[in-house]
Amino acid sequence: MMKSLITASLATLLLSGTAMAATTLKLTEVITSPARTETLKEIVAKFEAANPGVTVEITSLPWGEAFEKFATMVSAGETPDVMEMPDTWVALYAKNGALESLEPYLAKWQGASDLNDRALEFGRQVDGKTAYMLPYGFYMGAMFYNKKLFEEAGVAGPPATIDEFLEASKKVSALPGKYGYCLRGARGGLNDWTVFANAVSGDNTFFKDDGTSTFADPDKVAGLKFFIDYYKQGLAPKDSISWGFNETVAGFYSGTCAMLNQDPDALIAIDERMKPEDYGVVPLPKGSSGKAYPVIGYAGWSMFAASENKDLSWKLIEALEGTEGNVAWNKRTGALPALKSAEKDPFYATDKFKGWFDELKDANTVPTPLPSYLEEFAFFKDSLVPTSSQRALLGEITPEEMGKEWADYLTAAQQKFLAAQ
C-alpha cells in the first residue's frame, strides 16, 4: 500500500513537472536596441533559472514601427503576458480593458516600498488610483553639446537661453557641413516641439479649464514657428525632417550637428563613440520667461488581462522591477531609475548624469509630462504629429494651421476625458 502511494505521488510530481515545462510566458519589448534586448535576455535567463520549467518568449518590435505592429498583434488576439509599456500607450490599452490592474500584486509585494513616489504616481496616471503599468525608469530631456564644434565655431559655452541657443546654432552652421541642432522630424518629435513651444511661450500647459488645447494660442504658435523657421534657415540637417531617435543620436556623435535634446538613454551610444572631454550635458535653455520645460516620460511593465498565467506573469514583473533587474536594465537603457535604492548606485553618481540632476534641482526648470492619460494620445504622438509637422517644415501648411490641427484633435480628446470624470 505504501509503495503504491509513493508511486502515485511520484507520478503526480512528474505530471506537475510536465505541466510546468509547458508553461510559456510571452514578453514583448517595444523600445528596442541590440544592447537592450541582450540585457533583457540576461534578466529573463535568471528568472527562468529560478523558475524551472518556465520559458519566456521575447518578441522585440522595432520602435519606429512598434505602435502599428503591436496594435495589429492586439487586433489579432496575439497579446503577450507581459510587455514593455510606453507611457503614451497606457491609456489606450487600459481603457479598452486590455490591461490587468497591478494593485492586488503591489499590495503583497515587499519591493513596493522601494518604489519612488513618481513611479506609483505615473503608474496610476490613467485614473489616478489603478496601476496598469509599473515604470522601470524615467526619461527627461537635457542638452548635449559638442565642445569641439563649439570651440571651432567660436561659441563660448553651452547655451543657457533660447537666444543663446539660436546664436550658437548660427555660428556652428556657418562651418562647412555642420549644423546647430539634431532636429527630430519623425516619430518621437513631439518632445522637441513641446520643449521649444513651451520655452518660447513661457507656458507648459496643454489645456485650459474647459478642455480647450493651448496649441492654437498665439504664444504657442509663435513657439512652433520658431522651430519651423529654425529648420528653414538651414540650422538643422535637411534630412533631419525624417530623423527618429537613432538618427538624431548618430547625427550628434558623428559631429554633424552640435546640439541634441535627449534623454539619458542617448548616453549609451554617445559614450561609446565620443571621448568624455569632447561633449557635455547641461539643462535645456530657458525662454524669455526664465523657465525651461523638459519633457519627462517613462516606460514600464504591464500585464495583459488575457494572460492565462497571471501569478507567473507578476513574478516576471517582480524580476524585471526588483533591485537586481531594475538596476541592470536602467544601466543599459540609460533611464533614471524608479527605485529609491537604485539611485544610490555609484553608476548614477558620475558627471554623465549631472545635466539631468541639475535640471531636477533647478526651480526654473519644470519637468513636464505629456497628456498621455488620454486614450487618443498614442495616435496623436506617433501618427498625427509626425505627419503634420513634416508638412509644416516643408512649408505645405503654416504654423497656425498646424497648431489648429493639433488643438482640434486634443481639445476633442480632453473634453471627452473631462465629460467622463
Residue 50: what pLDDT?
A: 96
Total-model pTM: 0.74
Using alpha carbons, select from 321, 384, 272 the residue that is nearest to residue 115. 321
Q: Can you state the angle between helices 399-420 and 385-393, rounded to 10 degrees?
A: 160
Q: Start-end ranges of CATH 3.40.190.10 in the chain?
A: 19-139+297-352, 142-293+374-420
259's enclosing H/E stretch is strand 257-262
Separation between Cα atoms, residue 69 and residue 85, nearest integer Å: 14
How many Cβ atoms sit within 10 Å of the Cβ of residue 219?
Answer: 13
Specify the fold of 142-293+374-420.
D-Maltodextrin-Binding Protein; domain 2 (3.40.190)
The C-alpha torsion from 362 through 363 and 367 to 368, rounded to 10°, is: -160
Q: What is the DSSP string of 236-255?
A: S-GGGGG--HHHHHHHHHTT
User: What pLDDT, in 10s, does the model give residues 359-417?
Assistant: 877 889 988 989 988 999 999 999 999 999 999 999 999 999 999 999 999 999 999 99
Q: What CATH number matches the domain at 19-139+297-352, 3.30.565.10, 3.40.190.10, 3.30.910.20, 3.40.50.2300?
A: 3.40.190.10
pLDDT along the chain (421 residues), means of 10: 41 42 90 91 97 96 90 94 94 93 97 88 90 93 97 97 98 98 95 97 97 98 98 98 96 98 91 95 96 94 97 98 91 84 79 84 89 92 96 98 98 95 78
Q: Going by C-beta distance under 8 Å and a sequence separation of 6 or more, which residues neighbour residue 70?
A: 28, 30, 61, 83, 89
Separation between Cα atoms, residue 109 and residue 195, nearest integer Å: 37
Q: What share of the chain is helix, strand, coil (3-state, %, to 5)?
A: 55, 15, 30
346's enclosing H/E stretch is none
Using alpha carbons, select from 382, 389, 380 the residue that is nearest to residue 414. 380
The C-alpha torsion from 402 through 403 and 404 to 410, rounded to 10°, is: 110
Residues 183, 396, 371, CA angle at the centre, nearest 5°?
55
Residue 377: what pLDDT?
A: 94
How many Cβ atoms sit within 10 Å of the Cβ of residue 49?
Answer: 9
Contact 90, 59 (CB under 8 A): no
Give the type of residue at 409.
Y
CA distances from 252 to 26, 221, 230, 258, 262 (A): 36, 28, 17, 6, 11
Query: What three-state secondary structure class fits 22?
Result: coil
Phi-psi region of 97 (alpha: psi -120 to 50; beta: other; left: phi over 0): left
Lookup: cell for 280: 557635455
Q: What is the DSSP string of 160-202?
A: SBHHHHHHHHHHHHTSTT-EEE----STTTHHHHHHHHHHHHT
Q: Going by C-beta distance under 8 Å and a sequence separation of 6 or more, which residues neighbour residue 260?
A: 143, 144, 145, 181, 182, 248, 249, 251, 252, 266
139's enclosing H/E stretch is strand 134-140
How many Cβ atoms sit within 10 Å of the Cβ of residue 161?
Answer: 15
Lookup: cell for 77: 488576439
The residue with cell 493639433 is: 406
Question: Could you tell me whether strands 142-146 and 257-262 are parallel, antiparallel, or unpaired per DSSP bridges?
Answer: antiparallel
